[in-house]
Structure 1
Amino acid sequence: MVAGRGVALKALGKELHLPGVKAAVLKQQWRAVEELPKKRTVVAKLVKESRGRWAWRPRSLREIKRAEKKCGQKISSGKELMDAWNKRELLRDKASASKWYRENTSSGFGVPALSVKFPELARGWRSVLRIISGYLWTVPRLVRAKLIETQDAGCIFCGDLRGETEDHMLLHCKAWTTERELTEALAGTRPNGDSYKVALRRANEKERRGLLVWAAALLEKIEAKRQATLAPLKITRRRGRSPKDEVLLPDYHAAP
């Protein structure tokens, strides 16, 4: 299985039951501390002679003890330690994602409240939510999903060789310069820098509200023009078949 763009590696690891790097290291440290002293080889001798604060055994024991404390439970095996650490990381990631979601969608200045105040920007709010979730349908993503077909590696709207990305669409695409100026006049603001998400994170609540309205208004204005450009590129049939299937009837008058 290949994890491409738009795939959360943490979620993929969870689905495939793959431990994180830190969790896997802790398991191996536990195994080394428990098993190596029992070996009947020179390794056991090296373990016994491993002394000092920064020798591998004392250091591994400190790491294991620290991990147990952070997990908040008593550990009895390496696998149990690995599973506990994975669970801790998952909960931490969920908390971080929930905080970001609350700040941008559920708060008083979030998308639902703003979409009620600006119902005329319905399509724009839908696209803003896709940007927040990390998967706006840019041209490269449409091509990878086999929804459109184009050989142009650059931006098909302005010709930029770097191709269309979320930030390029919102901040740099020359095809939407007029719409960008009109949107700035409407919202009274525009993001600074080269990344919309970074500007959104750094903004306070009042500034974030303006940036969300700005993005929704811009995406609403350019949606129809984008769809008109993409329409001829859409794949409406299965690959390998002609648009019209011809039925060849047998010629009964032909010579045998």
Structure 2
Amino acid sequence: MTDLLKGKTILITGASSGIGASAAHLFAREGAHVVITARRKAELEQVAERIAADGGEVLAVQADTTDADDLSRAVAGAVERWGRLDGALNNAGRSQGGGRLADVTDETFDAVAEVNFKGVWLAMRAELRAMTAEGAGGGSIVNVSSIGGTFGAAGQSVYGATKAAVIAMSRAAAAEYGREGVRVNAIAPGATMTEMMAGWQQRDPSIVERLSALAALGRPGQPDEIAEAAAWLLSDRASYVTGMTLGVDGGTAPWPH
């Protein structure tokens, strides 16, 4: 490892699996103190145990990303344990599950928007308050969007809209907090082999093959590849990068209709 994040305290939401879990392991190996959150307590604790067994510094906080009190408690735990919050990867997300726009129910819309949009806003609010507190010295936030938020995909109208909102919100926050030493960026993964993709594959066994055909690299991404991009953005090596959306999609062309 390169000590890319040495000494930094970084919060990760949605860290019980997929990109979040991969990021937690990577950040710890790169020298960060990691605060991991997720709704699923057992899975979260397993991630924490593996990080600790590898010699990493980790604090696990069961938290629902749609609950402002939970997120404030996680941020407070980071500050109490390590004195400050230097970075955050807001990764928790939810799939739409398909369906054309006119067929999406109110319940599905609310559930997707609550996690993918409001949840990121709630997390950023708590994180920004800590990073801009007197004596804090700023920090870096990376929000996980999606290529679905940069161009439309059939069957993903609500999901894509929430991910586009994350990009816009990240840019706005970058403009608002840059002079207080906070950088805010987004990453837009392409098809990545996470639990969400596994769920899509159950409904449509050909989806990975079809999405891979759209990527210049001809394959889906792995969670650790997405985590590597986030690690760089959170590090001091990206010190002049803010308000940007980094595509981590293997060179994926727009999805077909």
User: Structure 1-normalised TM-score?
Assistant: 0.27
More strand by share: 2
Higher relative contact order (CA 8 A, sep 6+): 2
User: Structure 2-normalised TM-score?
Assistant: 0.27
